[in-house]
Amino acid sequence: MGLRRIWMLLAFIGLLASGLVPACSGGREPAGESASTPKTTTQSIGPVDALPPRTQRAFEATTAFSPLPKPGPGDWLDVNDEELQTAADYLASEPNLPVAPRNVLYVLPVGPLPAELGPTIDELTSYAHAFFGLEVRVLPTLDPEALDVTRRVHHGGGQLNATDILDRMEPQLPDDAYCMIAVTWSDLYPDDTYNFVFGLARLTARVGVFSFARLHPDFYGAYPGDDAEVRELVTRRALAVMSHEIGHMFGIQHCVSFACNMNGSNSLDESDRQPMHLCPVCLRKLHLALGFDPEQRYEALEEQYRRAGLEQEQAWVQRQRAYIAEAAAASR
């Protein structure tokens, strides 16, 4: 166990002993039930009293964070059992931490990424840097036809086995890599029991992959709006899926506390209903791993949303930045 992880655990355990958060931090909730009551949210986030006032406000469960909606038929929590992962649970899992020299986030293109159809590799890397604060580097593009992975034709379309892709990626992790995310326009599936998967990542192996294929309306034979509107839609979806899969590589499990970027998704419609931001519980987990300034992180994300034309997300971040800034005014 590294010194940074030991320090994190000792600091958290010390606050547990102080009575600021229950020593029994499991707080498990059954699938389909929101964990976002005031009491369980406070317990899930854990102690933040030692943080600066402006930082504390970033983890407050205000009305800016929507409650987890009741799952409809076929939604992720309707068909999957998920457990609540608190901040204490997260630390106890001994997640991978980006500690130098192993602190670079690598992006691996698998096949071309047509700029007219979705985000460019530069847009992906810029967003990943803003979201996670790590240095991001791009690896040479791989030819999907040259990949030694299982393939199948499913409902008339070709697919690559995402599990096989991750198996091939693990031994190829650069020495300075914190994690590596592959991106492709090829459709993916994890095993024969699934029709498809938007993306797949491993909590401890630091590899993941996601596909643009089902994010574009053309996949479904529908092309609503003009080219710019469609590209904006695909960009939003791609950035959300990418950050979700990288979040898993930080050891963050699916969220059952709020509507959150880390919610599980069983369909494109369900994914579109989920926000691009992290809820207070998942934001705290990422903060424990990275130690960022939430206000600076939101500032970087606001610029990304402005560039991408994602006005709703940009407005949400602006409101959060204003709310955090109120702490400084109140303390004068």
Amino acid at 230: V
And the tokens for 223?
A: 């092309």
Q: Is 295 known to be catalytic?
A: no
The pLDDT of residue 10 is 35
Q: What percent of the chain has pLDDT over 70?
A: 86
DSSP alpha helix (H) spans, 46-142: 53-57, 76-79, 87-92, 121-132
The pLDDT of residue 326 is 87
| pLDDT band with cut points at 50, 70 and 90 for residue 158 | very high
Is it the case that residue 2 has pLDDT exceeding 50? Answer: no
- Residues in a beta bridge with 154: 157
Question: Which of 1-5, 86-90, 278-282 is predicted least confidently?
Answer: 1-5
- Please, which residues have CB within 8 angstroms of residue 115's CB and are 6 or more apart in sequence? none
Residue-range domains of the chain with CATH:
1-92+276-332 (no CATH), 96-251 (3.40.390.10)
Angle at 165 between CA 160 and CA 261, to 5 degrees: 90
| pLDDT band with cut points at 50, 70 and 90 for residue 5 | very low
Is it the case that residue 199 has pLDDT exceeding 80? Answer: yes
And the tokens for 85?
A: 């992962």
Give exposure, 238-247, as e/b (b: 16+ Cβ within 10 Å): bbbbbbbbbb
The pLDDT of residue 15 is 33
Count the neighbouring beta carbons within 10 Å of the beta carbon of residue 120.
13
Q: Which of 82, 232, 245, 295 is flagged as catalytic?
A: 245
| pLDDT tens profile 70-88 | 999 999 999 999 999 999 9
| pLDDT tens profile 217-261 | 989 887 666 888 899 999 999 999 999 999 999 999 999 999 999
The mean per-residue pLDDT over the stretch 119-133 comes to: 97
The mean per-residue pLDDT over the stretch 130-138 comes to: 98
| pLDDT tens profile 20-50 | 222 222 222 333 445 456 557 889 999 999 9
User: What CA–CA distance (Å, rounded) separates 134 from 289?
Assistant: 12
The mean per-residue pLDDT over the stretch 148-172 comes to: 96
Whether 100 contacts 130, CB under 8 Å = no
